[in-house]
Structure 1
Amino acid sequence: MSRSTPASTKATASTDASMAPWRAGVLAVTAVIALGVSLRLLFGSASSVISEIRDSYGLGSVEVALLTTGPVVCLGLGASVAPRLARRFSALPVAAGCMAVLALGSALRAIPGWPILLVGTVIGGLGIAVANVLGPVLIRLLFPHRIGAMTGLLTALICVSAGIASGITPPVTRAVGDSWRIALGLWAIPAAIAFVAVALLAGSHGRGLRRAREMTPAVPLPSVPAAIRPGAARMRWAITGFMGIQSLLAYATVAWLPTIYRDRGLSADEAGLIFAALSVASIVTALGVPVLATRLRSQRLLALAVVATATLGLLGVLGTGTWGAWPSAIVVGFGQGGALSLALVLMNLRSATAAEATALSAAAQTVGYLLAATGPLAMGVLHSATDGWSVPLIALTATMVPLAICGVVAGHPGTLGAPTADRHGDSPPARPPIHS
Structure 2
Amino acid sequence: MTGRLRTAGWLAAVLLAALNMRPAIASVPPIVDAVRDALGLSSSAAGVLTSVPVVCMGLFAPAAAWAAARWGTGRTMALALALLAVATTVRPLAGVGVLYTATVLAGVAIAVGGALMPALVRSRFPDRVGPVTGLYTTALISGALIGAGGTEPLRAWLGDSWRAALAIWALLAVLALVLWLVVRPAGPGALSPAAGPAVAGGWSPWRDRGAWMVTLYMGGQSLLYYAPLAWLAARYTELGWSAARAGGLLALFSATQVVSALVAPALARRDPRPAIVVSLLVAVACLGLIGVAPLAAPELWAALLGVGVGANFSLALTVVGQIAPTPADTPRASGMAFFVGYLLAAAGPVAVGFLHDLTGGFRAPFLALVGFGVAVLAFGWAAGSAVKERSVPIAFRIGTDRSQHA
TM-score when normalising by structure 2: 0.83
Structure 2 CA distance for aligned equivalents of residues 21 and 311 of structure 1: 44
Distance 1:82 1:304, change over 3 A: same
1:427 paired to 2:396: no
Q: Which shifted more, 344-353 or 26-35?
A: 344-353
Q: Tell me if structure 2 keeps the 8 A contact 1:176–1:182.
A: yes
1:355 paired to 2:355: no
Say which SS state the counterpart of residue 42 (structure 2) adopts: coil
| Per-residue deviation, 1:151 | 0.7
Distance 1:55 1:233, change over 3 A: same
Q: Which runs of 5+ in 1 are unaligned?
A: 1-18, 211-220
Q: Identify the residue that residue 48 of structure 1 maps to in structure 2.
A: 30
The one-letter code of the counterpart of 2:224 is L
1:124 paired to 2:99: no
Q: What are the residue-to-residue correspondences of 1:95-110 with 2, within 5 Å?
A: 95-110=77-92
| Per-residue deviation, 1:261 | 6.0
Q: What are the residue-to-residue correspondences of 1:153-192 with 2, within 5 Å?
A: 153-192=135-174
| Per-residue deviation, 1:343 | 0.9
Match of 2:212 among 237, 245, 250: 237
Q: Identify the residue that residue 285 of structure 1 maps to in structure 2.
A: 260
Q: Identify the residue that residue 42 of structure 2 maps to in structure 1.
A: 59
Structure 2 CA distance for aligned equivalents of residues 194 and 253 of structure 1: 31
Q: Which shifted more, 386-395 or 126-135?
A: 386-395
1:411 paired to 2:367: no
In terms of fraction of residues, the more helix-rich structure is: 2
Q: Which shifted more, 117-126 or 271-280?
A: 271-280
1:147 paired to 2:122: no
Match of 2:17 among 13, 31, 35: 35
Structure 1 CA distance for aligned equivalents of residues 74 and 363 of structure 2: 44
Q: What are the residue-to-residue correspondences of 1:342-381 with 2, within 5 Å?
A: 342-379=315-352
The one-letter code of the counterpart of 1:429 is R
| Per-residue deviation, 1:52 | 5.1
| Per-residue deviation, 1:358 | 2.4
Q: Tell me if structure 1 keeps the 8 A contact 2:219–2:337.
A: yes
Structure 2 CA distance for aligned equivalents of residues 131 and 345 of structure 1: 16
* Structure with larger Rg: 1
Structure 1 CA distance for aligned equivalents of residues 302 and 395 of structure 2: 39
| Per-residue deviation, 1:28 | 0.4
Structure 2 CA distance for aligned equivalents of residues 317 and 111 of structure 1: 42
The one-letter code of the counterpart of 2:7 is G
CA shift digits 1:173-210 (9 cap, x unpaired): 33334444432332222122112222223389459989
| Per-residue deviation, 1:254 | 4.5
1:300 paired to 2:300: no
The one-letter code of the counterpart of 1:412 is S
CA shift digits 1:125-166 (9 cap, x unpaired): 111101111111111111111111101101111122212222
Q: Tell me if structure 1 keeps the 8 A contact 2:257–2:307.
A: yes
Q: Tell me if structure 2 keeps the 8 A contact 1:160–1:279.
A: no
| Per-residue deviation, 1:295 | 2.0
The one-letter code of the counterpart of 2:173 is A
| Per-residue deviation, 1:23 | 2.9
Structure 2 CA distance for aligned equivalents of residues 54 and 379 of structure 1: 25
Structure 1 CA distance for aligned equivalents of residues 97 and 371 of structure 2: 34
Say which SS state the counterpart of residue 428 (structure 1) adopts: helix
Q: Tell me if structure 1 keeps the 8 A contact 2:9–2:185.
A: no
Distance 1:190 1:408, change over 3 A: same
Distance 1:432 1:115, change over 3 A: same
Q: Tell me if structure 2 keeps the 8 A contact 1:38–1:158.
A: yes
Structure 1 CA distance for aligned equivalents of residues 321 and 268 of structure 2: 11
CA shift digits 1:34-59 (9 cap, x unpaired): 01211111232223345555666453
Q: Percentage identity across aligned positions?
A: 32
TM-score when normalising by structure 1: 0.78
The one-letter code of the counterpart of 2:326 is T
Q: What are the residue-to-residue correspondences of 1:311-330 with 2, within 5 Å?
A: 311-318=284-291, 325-330=298-303
Q: Tell me if structure 2 keeps the 8 A contact 1:65–1:376.
A: no
Q: Which runs of 5+ in 2 are unaligned?
A: none
Say which SS state the counterpart of residue 152 (structure 1) adopts: helix
| Per-residue deviation, 1:233 | 3.1
CA shift digits 1:356-375 (9 cap, x unpaired): 32221111111112222223
CA shift digits 1:326-365 (9 cap, x unpaired): 4333222111211111111112333331123222111111
How many aligned residue pairs are there?
A: 400
Structure 1 CA distance for aligned equivalents of residues 31 and 254 of structure 2: 17
